[in-house]
Amino acid sequence: MRNVHLWAHAPRKTPVRRSRVALRIGYSIPRIVLIACVAACAATLALLPQETLMAQSTATAANSQSTPTLTAAQLNESMLKLQRELLSKYGEGQKARIRTGLHQVVEFWRPEDGDAAVFENFVRTNFAGDQASLDTMFDRFQRMLEELDGHMHEISREFSAQQDLDLGPIQRYDEVFAGYDPSAHVIDDFFQNKLAFVVLLNFRLTTLEERINLGPKWTRREWAEARLAERFSKRIPAEVNLAIAQAAADSGSYIASYNIWMYHLVDDQGRRIFPPKMRLLSHWNLRDEIKADYADSANGLAKQRMIQQVMERIVTQSIPQVAIDDPHVDWNPFTNEVKPAAEQDSDAPARADLKITNAPEPDARYTTLLKDYRAARLADPYSPTAPTLIDRRFNEDREIPEERLRAMLEQVLTSPLVPQVAKLIEARLGRPLEPFDVWYSGFRAGNKYSEAELDAAVAKKYPTAEAYQKDIPNLLMKLGFAPERARYVASHIIVDPARGSGHAMGAQMRSESSHLRTRVEKNGMNYKGYNIAVHEMGHNVEQTFSLNDVDYTLLQGVPNTAFTEALAFVFQNQDLALLGLSSPDAQSEALKTLNDFWTTYEISGVALVDMAVWHWMYDHPEAKPEELRDATLQIAKDIWNRYYAPVFGKRDVVLLAIYSHMIDSFLYLPDYPIGHLIAFQVEEQMKKAGSIGPEFERMAKMGRVTPDLWMENATGKPVSADALLTATEDALKQVQAKQQ
Ligand SMILES: [Zn+2]
């Protein structure tokens, strides 16, 4: 049940591709959290980021011709004058604040913000030179920003209700309402009306290094001030945001139509081993088909080998262009031969201009990736404290330094447990590993209860969504929450009937509740819906504590979505116990752990490829698509050869570069393995603590500090791979003992 597929603040909802775009271009409200998780939505998770508000440096400020003149020299002169003036007014005690504040304002000031007189007047009026006025300012901004975030989120939630909830037909205008982002221009507005400058004049911007090294000693108020300032740490020009959004949209649509028609894959004997009409999106569906094929004892292996061949042709771009998303073409991925389809499984007519040749796809995969890179790079000059996309992802969004993250991935990849688990897989398969076995999915325990039994038990208990809502306090008490705390949390959760499978949508201000969207069929809730509801309820409980019980609303939330996912899985793992049934036994738990370990091993290599490719692009800014292709292949092979070839017995495999996220998600992949590590740490701590309730509340109230500091508070240790490795070692022993 860990399945930690993700971490991401999906800032809004639905069509998730769009929200990704919104995110990248710098959404203004950092944390509108909607969590639509569980199973199928791995692919849908948005990029996370506090990547937001971009900044403008003075170097580029001079661009605008139509505005009054204000030279850097004039600004500098004004700054020095003000520095002397404020110092004599407020005294030596304020010296550092005066200096920092002035520099921060100057850094972001553009000529259109006003001439030297406007600048000087602004500073004189808005510098809070004593503690009392600073306290007032802090409180006011905290309250106003909570109102702003909360109401913007409320609008978004209501505007997307028709689309999200089971409320009847969706009209075209409903989609437009759902797609509208009322907060899109907030940051621009705040620079224009100078509220952003008020913050920058009075509260210090911090670097990740400071947050990591000094953060543990900061007061909670200092943390809240750091988060306040951070909201205005970037001022990206609209045209740059647009260019990034365009690249994101283009790469998203390139990936969204990258389908393979499986019935039209033929082997050397001309056989079709996949069923008609099967159309798989790369890479998600292809990979999931490999996983499903372990259950097919007749053709599974042949199918898996064929899919691997298809994936390699996509990565190397030797795939014939006509074989992409076209049911009128038969393709042998081994010989690369293409022919007009000898059998039809689609009603769509063939394209009139369809010319069947095996001319390869012309490096479109790498052209698309290069366009992402070139667009992302446009923001670099406006982000002085994180001047590359790589910096922004690691230092701002994840808040885990790249080197530390890399070391954790390498710890998993080089663990002596890898060859041991590999051996176990070989024994279970009865054959040597093949490269596609990085997606081995056979660590499944038999179920104690049939799906029908579970469905019946759930439907009886929860015939309606209201029945579930009513039972929430009771469920929370079973999880160890005191009656009074259980009732308190339950009073902050509203259950809605979901149109899709279900999700949790937290609030952004304390006067609002969090929403649990769940699916209830006419004849009652089924087990699948219940399992999701329990997971989402975990999110709702976290959202309630981390908003309503955190000491400063500026710190509301968790460090990133991996943390809220970890907490939700703690709930989800208890779903059978909450039904009054017995929880999975030690053997099933052990198999699940081995599955998670193998998945983490696989995705860690994928993440390293993603990271190395972005570094290569930054090192080769003028690269051509074919050069990027060759570099990517080399990087994928090198990482394979180092960490996988020793257990797979085959070198130079390029499969690690197949993930579609690499092409459309701007360095998102490292989030996955870290999510697994965090889930294990939280779970280990829960086991240690014994009772979930009080421990859950204690963890969730920490709010949005750095991942390491949050984890220190939660478990006594920073984020690390140790918990996963320890659990895997125990699981191996359990499974091996059972086999003997
Ligand atoms: Zn979730």
SS3 482: coil
Q: How far is the centre of ligand 1, averaged over its atoms, from the C-alpha of 311 (Å)?
A: 29
Checking if the pLDDT of 429 tops 60, the result is yes
**What is the rounded distance in angstroms from the CA atom of residue 370 to the CA atom of residue 490?**
48
Q: How far is the centre of ligand 1, averaged over its atoms, from the C-alpha of 368 (Å)?
A: 30
Burial bucket for residue 352 (CB in 10 Å: 0-12, 13-18, 19+) = exposed
Checking if the pLDDT of 13 tops 70, the result is no
Please tell me the predicted confidence (pLDDT) of residue 68: 57
Please tell me the predicted confidence (pLDDT) of residue 738: 82
**What is the rounded distance in angstroms from the CA atom of residue 617 to the CA atom of residue 7?**
25
Tokens linked to 423: 């051996």
Q: How far is the centre of ligand 1, averaged over its atoms, from the C-alpha of 692 (Å)?
A: 18
DSSP of 340-357: E-SS----SPPPTT----
For the chain, give the percent of residues with pLDDT over 70.
90
Other residues' Cβ atoms within 10 Å of the Cβ of residue 484? 8
pTM for the predicted model, two decimal places: 0.85
pLDDT tens digits for 105-137? 999 999 999 999 999 999 999 999 999 999 999
Q: How far is the centre of ligand 1, averaged over its atoms, from the C-alpha of 173 (Å)?
A: 29
Q: How far is the centre of ligand 1, averaged over its atoms, from the C-alpha of 271 (Å)?
A: 41
Question: Could you write out the three-class secondary structure of 578-642?
Answer: HCCCCCCCHHHHHHHHHHHHHHHHHHHHHHHHHHHHHHHHHHCCCCCHHHHHHHHHHHHHHHHHH
Length of the chain counted residue by residue: 740
Confidence tier at 339 by pLDDT (50, 70, 90): very high
Q: How far is the centre of ligand 1, averaged over its atoms, from the C-alpha of 60 (Å)?
A: 41
**What is the rounded distance in angstroms from the CA atom of residue 97 to the CA atom of residue 86?**
10
Q: How far is the centre of ligand 1, averaged over its atoms, from the C-alpha of 563 (Å)?
A: 10
Q: How far is the centre of ligand 1, averaged over its atoms, from the C-alpha of 683 (Å)?
A: 15
Please tell me the predicted confidence (pLDDT) of residue 248: 92
Q: How far is the centre of ligand 1, averaged over its atoms, from the C-alpha of 567 (Å)?
A: 9
Give whichever of 2-6, 106-110, 320-324 has the largest mean pLDDT: 320-324
Q: How far is the centre of ligand 1, averaged over its atoms, from the C-alpha of 734 (Å)?
A: 28
Other residues' Cβ atoms within 10 Å of the Cβ of residue 204? 17
Q: How far is the centre of ligand 1, averaged over its atoms, from the C-alpha of 332 (Å)?
A: 40
Q: How far is the centre of ligand 1, averaged over its atoms, from the C-alpha of 534 (Å)?
A: 10
Q: How far is the centre of ligand 1, averaged over its atoms, from the C-alpha of 36 (Å)?
A: 6
**What is the rounded distance in angstroms from the CA atom of residue 217 to the CA atom of residue 223?**
10
**What is the rounded distance in angstroms from the CA atom of residue 709 to the CA atom of residue 696?**
16
**What is the rounded distance in angstroms from the CA atom of residue 513 to the CA atom of residue 346?**
47
Q: How far is the centre of ligand 1, averaged over its atoms, from the C-alpha of 560 (Å)?
A: 12
DSSP of 674-694: HHHHHHHHHHHHHHHHS-HHH
Q: How far is the centre of ligand 1, averaged over its atoms, from the C-alpha of 50 (Å)?
A: 19
Q: How far is the centre of ligand 1, averaged over its atoms, from the C-alpha of 35 (Å)?
A: 6
Amino acid in the structure at residue 634: Q
Q: How far is the centre of ligand 1, averaged over its atoms, from the C-alpha of 409 (Å)?
A: 23
Q: How far is the centre of ligand 1, averaged over its atoms, from the C-alpha of 739 (Å)?
A: 34
Q: How far is the centre of ligand 1, averaged over its atoms, from the C-alpha of 500 (Å)?
A: 14
Q: How far is the centre of ligand 1, averaged over its atoms, from the C-alpha of 80 (Å)?
A: 51
Cα 509 from chain centre: 23
Tokens linked to 287: 């990979």
Judged by average pLDDT, the poorest of 54-68, 276-290, 592-606 is 54-68
Buried b (16+ CB within 10 A) or exposed e, 142-168: beebbebbbbbbbebbebbbbbbeeee
Q: How far is the centre of ligand 1, averaged over its atoms, from the C-alpha of 679 (Å)?
A: 12
pLDDT tens digits for 469-510? 999 999 999 999 999 999 999 999 999 988 887 889 999 999
- The values of phi and psi at residue 267, to 5°, are -95, -170
Q: How far is the centre of ligand 1, averaged over its atoms, from the C-alpha of 551 (Å)?
A: 25
CA distances from 273 to 76, 308, 332, 433, 440 (A): 72, 14, 12, 22, 20
pLDDT tens digits for 357-407? 999 999 999 999 999 999 999 999 988 888 999 999 999 999 999 999 999
Q: How far is the centre of ligand 1, averaged over its atoms, from the C-alpha of 267 (Å)?
A: 40
**What is the rounded distance in angstroms from the CA atom of residue 218 to the CA atom of residue 706?**
12
Q: How far is the centre of ligand 1, averaged over its atoms, from the C-alpha of 566 (Å)?
A: 8
Q: How far is the centre of ligand 1, averaged over its atoms, from the C-alpha of 737 (Å)?
A: 33
Checking if the pLDDT of 32 tops 90, the result is no
Q: How far is the centre of ligand 1, averaged over its atoms, from the C-alpha of 3 (Å)?
A: 9
- Residue carrying the six token digits 């038999």: 446
- The values of phi and psi at residue 264, to 5°, are -95, 10
Buried b (16+ CB within 10 A) or exposed e, 656-670: bbbbbbbbbbbbbbb
Checking if the pLDDT of 675 tops 80, the result is yes
Q: How far is the centre of ligand 1, averaged over its atoms, from the C-alpha of 34 (Å)?
A: 9
**What is the rounded distance in angstroms from the CA atom of residue 42 to the CA atom of residue 57?**
37
Q: How far is the centre of ligand 1, averaged over its atoms, from the C-alpha of 41 (Å)?
A: 9
Please tell me the predicted confidence (pLDDT) of residue 519: 86
pLDDT tens digits for 694-728? 999 999 999 999 999 999 999 999 999 999 999 99
Please tell me the predicted confidence (pLDDT) of residue 39: 30
Amino acid in the structure at residue 570: V
Confidence tier at 447 by pLDDT (50, 70, 90): confident
Spell out the residues 6+ positions from residue 694 whose beta carbon is closer than 8 angstroms to its own: 480, 481, 482
For the chain, give the percent of residues with pLDDT over 90.
79
Confidence tier at 184 by pLDDT (50, 70, 90): confident
Q: Phi-psi bin for 493: left (phi > 0), alpha (psi -120 to 50), beta? A: beta
Checking if the pLDDT of 21 tops 70, the result is no
Please tell me the predicted confidence (pLDDT) of residue 9: 30
Q: How far is the centre of ligand 1, averaged over its atoms, from the C-alpha of 539 (Å)?
A: 7
Q: How far is the centre of ligand 1, averaged over its atoms, from the C-alpha of 672 (Å)?
A: 13
260 beta partners: 280
Q: How far is the centre of ligand 1, averaged over its atoms, from the C-alpha of 536 (Å)?
A: 6
Checking if the pLDDT of 592 tops 80, the result is yes
pLDDT tens digits for 522-578? 889 999 899 999 999 999 999 999 999 999 999 999 998 889 989 999 999 899 999
Checking if the pLDDT of 49 tops 70, the result is no
Q: How far is the centre of ligand 1, averaged over its atoms, from the C-alpha of 23 (Å)?
A: 19
Q: How far is the centre of ligand 1, averaged over its atoms, from the C-alpha of 564 (Å)?
A: 7
Q: How far is the centre of ligand 1, averaged over its atoms, from the C-alpha of 530 (Å)?
A: 14
Chain-wide mean pLDDT for the chain? 89
Q: How far is the centre of ligand 1, averaged over its atoms, from the C-alpha of 528 (Å)?
A: 14
Burial bucket for residue 522 (CB in 10 Å: 0-12, 13-18, 19+) = exposed
**What is the rounded distance in angstroms from the CA atom of residue 29 to the CA atom of residue 185?**
10
Confidence tier at 740 by pLDDT (50, 70, 90): low
Please tell me the predicted confidence (pLDDT) of residue 8: 30
Q: How far is the centre of ligand 1, averaged over its atoms, from the C-alpha of 542 (Å)?
A: 11
Q: How far is the centre of ligand 1, averaged over its atoms, from the C-alpha of 113 (Å)?
A: 43
**Residues 540/567, Cβ–Cβ less than 8 Å:** no
Amino acid in the structure at residue 500: G
- Strands (E) across 38-93 are located at none
Q: How far is the centre of ligand 1, averaged over its atoms, from the C-alpha of 138 (Å)?
A: 33
Angle between helices 527-548 and 692-700 (to 10 degrees): 50
**What is the rounded distance in angstroms from the CA atom of residue 263 to the CA atom of residue 685?**
48
Q: How far is the centre of ligand 1, averaged over its atoms, from the C-alpha of 506 (Å)?
A: 12
Q: How far is the centre of ligand 1, averaged over its atoms, from the C-alpha of 397 (Å)?
A: 19
**CA neighbor of 568 nearest in space, from 86, 4, 101:** 4
Tokens linked to 402: 């790249």
Q: How far is the centre of ligand 1, averaged over its atoms, from the C-alpha of 487 (Å)?
A: 23
Q: How far is the centre of ligand 1, averaged over its atoms, from the C-alpha of 718 (Å)?
A: 22
Please tell me the predicted confidence (pLDDT) of residue 138: 98
- Residue carrying the six token digits 């372990």: 294
- The values of phi and psi at residue 205, to 5°, are -75, 145
Amino acid in the structure at residue 47: L
Q: How far is the centre of ligand 1, averaged over its atoms, from the C-alpha of 529 (Å)?
A: 13
CA neighbours within 13 Å on the CB side: how many for 42? 19
Question: Could you write out the three-class secondary structure of 267-293?
Answer: CCCCCECCCCCCEEECCHHHHHHHHHH
Q: How far is the centre of ligand 1, averaged over its atoms, from the C-alpha of 37 (Å)?
A: 4
Mean pLDDT computed over 148-162: 96
Q: How far is the centre of ligand 1, averaged over its atoms, from the C-alpha of 395 (Å)?
A: 24
Q: How far is the centre of ligand 1, averaged over its atoms, from the C-alpha of 111 (Å)?
A: 45
Q: How far is the centre of ligand 1, averaged over its atoms, from the C-alpha of 73 (Å)?
A: 52
Please tell me the predicted confidence (pLDDT) of residue 31: 31
Q: How far is the centre of ligand 1, averaged over its atoms, from the C-alpha of 720 (Å)?
A: 21
β-pairing, 514-518 vs 493-497, is parallel
